[in-house]
Chain A
Amino acid sequence: MLGKTAGGLYWMFRFLERAENTARLVEAGFRIALTRSSDSASEWKSVVTTAGVRNGYMEKYDSFAGPTVIDYLLRDTANPSSVMSVIENARMNARLVRTVLTTEVWEAVNENWMTLKEALRRPIRETELPGILGTIRQQSALVRGAMHGTMMRNDIFDFAQIGTALERADNTARIIDVKYYTLLPSASFVGSPLDNVQWETILRSVSAHRSFRWLNQDDMNSSNIADFLILDSRFPRSLSFCSRNLDENLGFLAKDYGVRMPCNDLVERQRDKLRAHTIGSIFDEGLHQFIGAFIRDNNAIGMQIEQDYRFNG
């Protein structure tokens, strides 16, 4: 496969994952704003921060109101991470690598783009927002379904999975990073109503509020939540799950090509580190430091992959 094609696949799936994650962040923010309106401005602020676009947003607006945040994160093509921008990018990369996609996958991506372009053409009214967020989720599900149902399990599939896993790990880590203080087991916070709001937001941002409840019943506390998001390898958005996924797919590539690359070592180190920890030892080391280091490692793995498989020459 061409290095450029591998890069195109990797980025196509990073962008698709990003679109879904951004939509989920907006959904969580919207839900909190509706149900706990007293603190909605600071909630929207942390949504913008988590999406990693705070500077761009501040250049354009000077307060964090729901409608402007929603517009910026979903529609604004001046925001390179808005859903519209990343779906454009995903499709552009899909066009670039079209020869390695099945017709079904290409059509799903193209239809995703056409549907969202239409849905996000005009500013979004509050009444339409749930429907639009649903559309975004549904469209990504269609792409993923086409992908899993029709693509060969070869290096093409591996690069797609690698992009997805890397982006997803980054997203979950950033959610924890922005709200790490609400997950600290310091006595003064535990069980306060404020905590409950924050915890709910975190869980909703990764669509885990239901599964978490099923697993933990009434036992909602910071340590359980942090454990779930970081170390629970059953949860498909946990750092541990993503890291395993990345490791496996890079492993398939190494086996397929018959060469082990530096990125294989990097991801193995990351996975070992996660395996060696308990949530208690993470808190001892410092949650913030731990997450910061994870994000840096994750980026480094991404850059190593680009180099090892010659995405850019």
Chain B
Amino acid sequence: MTEKRQHFDEMLLDGDGVRQPYDAYQEWFFNEDPTRLTKKSKEAEAFFRRTGITFNVYGQEEAQERLIPFDLIPRIISNREWTRLSKGIEQRVRAINAFLHDIYHRQEILRAGVVPPHLIAQNDAFLPQMIGMSPPGGVYTHIVGTDIVRTGENEFFVLEDNARTPSGVSYMLENRETMLQMFPELFSQNKVQPVSDYPKNLRRSLAACAPAGCNGKPTVAVLTPGIHNSAYFEHSFLADQMGVELVEGHDLRVVDGRIAMRTTQGYQNIDVLYRRVDDDFLDPLNFNPDSMLGVPGIMDVYRAGGITIANAPGTGISDDKAIYSYMPEIVEFYTGEKAILKNVQTWRCSEPEALQYVLDNLSELVVKEVHGSGGYGMLVGPAASKKEIASFAVKLKKNPSNYIAQPTLSLSTVPIFVKKGLSPRHVDLRPFVLVSPKEVKITPGGLTRVALKAGSLVVNSSQGGGTKDTWVLED
């Protein structure tokens, strides 16, 4: 471990030793027999297969269900680091809710000239159907998965806000279960804050957002696009863990101004629908008419206050990467405070000067589509060939406002377990946030995604990324 590293490693110090949160862990690790760890690693994989913790990859007939590789070295965060992070996340999530309410009502932020109106008016993610509509409890983003990256001891950046339908929470929970089963001793040596309350909290948080007319215990259901969706495992997992029904569009219909599900004993009303179906497919009568995944008329029931949809339709606007670039101003506008978490510097290619800069520096930048997600359709300049860069430049010039660019961040690394011992890999972090009218609740830790290829910065599971258990220590 003598070579000089260019990246901040969260475990290993440049010379000898480890950073403080890893003190107890390293003692355990260096006393472990590597062959036992290799065996454990295989056991974990068999466990994931048997329990069916898989995801589907689109367009790959052969490997229809794949495992997300799990690395057994945990990522450890101190309580102090976490306190600051969670404050920053909460501030940001509150601001996003205020922003969404504002742009669908009085649009003060546009009038104040903080965000240019065309970014809203000409944005596909802005839903005119939501104008003037106030979701039950005033909550737009019931579930948020803020993507955070780290570049140094005190350098944290928000990469994306994911206020639409963040996925991955089932991996956070199953990773912890796996670690508890494989290495129970670690959890008596380290005081790790638990994550297992998430499903209970999710159910409570959703129930707290039930429509005003709901009396008695709210009926919650999870809406999935179906068994072939890439995140189907997570949908059924969450429904199961919450003890609520997992429904598809064809199980639902409008009955007497309510959304009801077809049961063996007739139709039963639903109060809160945690939908994992995109806005566009939610209601063929109000949005994409070809959608088979949604419920015809659900938007009308929603607007009349008959059901809560989580997350609210139209929240996607805050995931727009051009809007993202204004997030520090948005936070300040609604909270009156400076943003605690930093934004990554962002060039909006819609602006001619920015576009020129981006075109001149493509080989150094990361360029993303404004509506993109999942790591698709983006260019990672430093990792791209000349040919890839040239062809991306053509796409970019054709439709500049579809793109933003960011500097290539020197993401922190956490070691993964390999044959020779430890080897650093880049990571990011997705904490999961629950918003109800009364409170914002953040599960300590979240999902750590790790790029398994040495040097790679792409952590997405659809692009060969893996995951780690994420620990937030007690003190």
Contacting residue for B236 out of A4, A6, A99, CB 8 A: A99
The reply to whether the CB of A110 lies closer than 8 angstroms to some CB of chain B is yes
Whether A95 contacts B264 by the Cβ 8 Å rule is no
Question: Closest CB-CB distance, B273 to chain A, in whole Å?
Answer: 14
The reply to whether the CB of B6 lies closer than 8 angstroms to some CB of chain A is no
Please give, as numbers and ranges, the residues of chain B lying within 8 Å of A111 by CB-CB distance: 50
The reply to whether the CB of A313 lies closer than 8 angstroms to some CB of chain B is yes
Whether B51 contacts A110 by the Cβ 8 Å rule is yes
CA distance A6 to B247 in the complex (A): 13
Given A107-B51, A111-B50, are A99 and B246 neighbors across the interface (CB < 8 Å)?
yes
The reply to whether the CB of B227 lies closer than 8 angstroms to some CB of chain A is yes
Whether A4 contacts B52 by the Cβ 8 Å rule is no
Please give, as numbers and ranges, the residues of chain A lying within 8 Å of B232 by CB-CB distance: 95
Given A1-B263, A2-B263, A98-B240, are A313 and B227 neighbors across the interface (CB < 8 Å)?
no
Please give, as numbers and ranges, the residues of chain A lying within 8 Å of B246 by CB-CB distance: 99
CA distance A22 to B473 in the complex (A): 55
Question: Closest CB-CB distance, B129 to chain A, in whole Å?
Answer: 27
Give the interface SS of chain A, mostly helix, strand, loop or mixed: helix
Whether B51 contacts A4 by the Cβ 8 Å rule is no
Please give, as numbers and ranges, the residues of chain B lying within 8 Å of A3 by CB-CB distance: 251, 262-264
CA distance A81 to B227 in the complex (A): 21
Please give, as numbers and ranges, the residues of chain B lying within 8 Å of A92 by CB-CB distance: 227
The reply to whether the CB of B265 lies closer than 8 angstroms to some CB of chain A is yes
List A residues 1-18 near B (Cβ within 8 Å). Answer: 1-6
Please give, as numbers and ranges, the residues of chain A lying within 8 Å of B227 by CB-CB distance: 92, 95-96
The reply to whether the CB of A310 lies closer than 8 angstroms to some CB of chain B is yes
Whether A4 contacts B240 by the Cβ 8 Å rule is no
The reply to whether the CB of A309 lies closer than 8 angstroms to some CB of chain B is yes
Contacting residue for A2 out of B49, B240, B261, CB 8 A: B261
B interface size (C-beta, 8 A) = 21
The reply to whether the CB of A155 lies closer than 8 angstroms to some CB of chain B is yes
Whether A6 contacts B264 by the Cβ 8 Å rule is yes
Closest to A98 in B: B236
The reply to whether the CB of B239 lies closer than 8 angstroms to some CB of chain A is yes
CA distance A1 to B243 in the complex (A): 12
Closest to B268 in A: A2
List B residues 37-66 near A (Cβ within 8 Å). Answer: 49-52
Contact with B along A278-313 (1 / 0, CB 8 A): 000000000000000000000000000000011001
Whether A99 contacts B239 by the Cβ 8 Å rule is yes
Contact with B along A20-42 (1 / 0, CB 8 A): 00000000000000000000000
Given A2-B245, A2-B251, are A107 and B264 neighbors across the interface (CB < 8 Å)?
no
Question: Closest CB-CB distance, A34 to chain B, in whole Å?
Answer: 36
Given A92-B227, A99-B236, A99-B246, are A155 and B51 neighbors across the interface (CB < 8 Å)?
no
A interface size (C-beta, 8 A) = 23
Question: Closest CB-CB distance, B416 to chain A, in whole Å?
Answer: 26
Whether A310 contacts B51 by the Cβ 8 Å rule is no
Contacting residue for B52 out of A95, A99, A309, A310, CB 8 A: A95
The reply to whether the CB of A106 lies closer than 8 angstroms to some CB of chain B is yes
Q: Which of B52, B232, B263: most chain A Cβ within 10 A?
A: B52
The reply to whether the CB of A114 lies closer than 8 angstroms to some CB of chain B is yes
The reply to whether the CB of B250 lies closer than 8 angstroms to some CB of chain A is yes
Contact with A along B237-249 (1 / 0, CB 8 A): 0011000011110
CA distance A107 to B245 in the complex (A): 20
Question: Closest CB-CB distance, A80 to chain B, in whole Å?
Answer: 18
Contacting residue for B262 out of A96, A99, A257, A313, CB 8 A: A313
Please give, as numbers and ranges, the residues of chain B lying within 8 Å of A110 by CB-CB distance: 49-52
Closest to A111 in B: B50
Whether B50 contacts A107 by the Cβ 8 Å rule is yes
CA distance A171 to B335 in the complex (A): 69
Please give, as numbers and ranges, the residues of chain B lying within 8 Å of A63 by CB-CB distance: none
Contacting residue for A257 out of B50, B239, B265, CB 8 A: B265
Question: Closest CB-CB distance, B34 to chain A, in whole Å?
Answer: 28
Please give, as numbers and ranges, the residues of chain A lying within 8 Å of B245 by CB-CB distance: 2, 5, 99
Contacting residue for B51 out of A2, A5, A6, A103, CB 8 A: A103
Please give, as numbers and ranges, the residues of chain A lying within 8 Å of B251 by CB-CB distance: 2-4
Contact with A along B247-261 (1 / 0, CB 8 A): 110110000000001
Q: Which residues of B contact A (CB under 8 A)?
A: 49-52, 227, 232, 236, 239-240, 245-248, 250-251, 261-266
Q: Show 9 A/B contacts (Cβ-Cβ < 8 Å), sorted by A.
A: A4-B250, A4-B251, A95-B52, A95-B232, A96-B227, A98-B52, A103-B51, A259-B265, A309-B264
9 closest Cβ pairs, A-B complex? A99-B240, A309-B264, A3-B262, A98-B236, A6-B264, A99-B239, A110-B52, A1-B264, A99-B246
Question: Given A2-B247, A310-B266, 12 more contacts at CB 8 Å?
Answer: A2-B245, A2-B261, A2-B264, A3-B263, A4-B251, A4-B262, A95-B227, A99-B236, A110-B52, A111-B50, A309-B264, A310-B263
